[in-house]
Each structure stands twice: as C-alpha cells, then as structure tokens.
Amino acid sequence: MKEYYEILRELREDRDLKQADIAAVLGTTQQVYSRYENGVNEMPIRHLRRLCQYYRVSADYVLSLSPYMDAGAARSP
C-alpha cells in the first residue's frame, strides 16, 4: 500500500507540475510542500482536502482506502 505522499507525488508528476506550482495552490512555500511530499511533515487536512479538489480525486484514493480515483466510482455492496 502506498503512502499518501507517494500518491500526491504521482498525481503532481502525472500532470507535469512542479512542487512550487502545488505550493502556490496551497498558499505555502515549495520547501514546506517538499517536506509533505517526502513524508517528513504530515500534511494538514485542509491541504489534503484542497489537493483532492484540485486533482479531482477522492480522499479515500489519496489515503489508499480505495483503488478508485473518483469519489463516485462504483463500490461493491
């Protein structure tokens, strides 16, 4: 199971974005975001929520609780 910061890095890299781009979305610095993405510091929930909105993925996906990127994806009963 991947850590949330590994998934966030993949989402960023898949879109050819720099850490500074995402830091600007969060209203923080590239250095602070780098520490989140490298697992040095835990990301505040407000930032996780904002990134889920930005990338249009569910928090369950980022947290490895679901294999589905979309919050509305089919679930087993």
Identify whether the C-beta of residue 60 lies closer than 8 Å to the C-beta of residue 71.
yes
Q: Residue 74 — very low, low, confident or very high, per pLDDT cuts 50/70/90?
A: very low
Quote the CA–CA distance of 18 and 30 in Å, as a whole number: 9
Identify whether the C-beta of residue 10 lies closer than 8 Å to the C-beta of residue 49.
no
Summarised one tens digit per residue, pLDDT across range 13-48 is 999 999 999 999 999 999 999 999 999 999 999 999
Query: Of 38, 37, 39, 6, which Cα lies nearest the Cα of 23?
Result: 37
Longest distance between any two alpha carbons in the chain, whole Å? 43
pTM of the model as a whole: 0.86
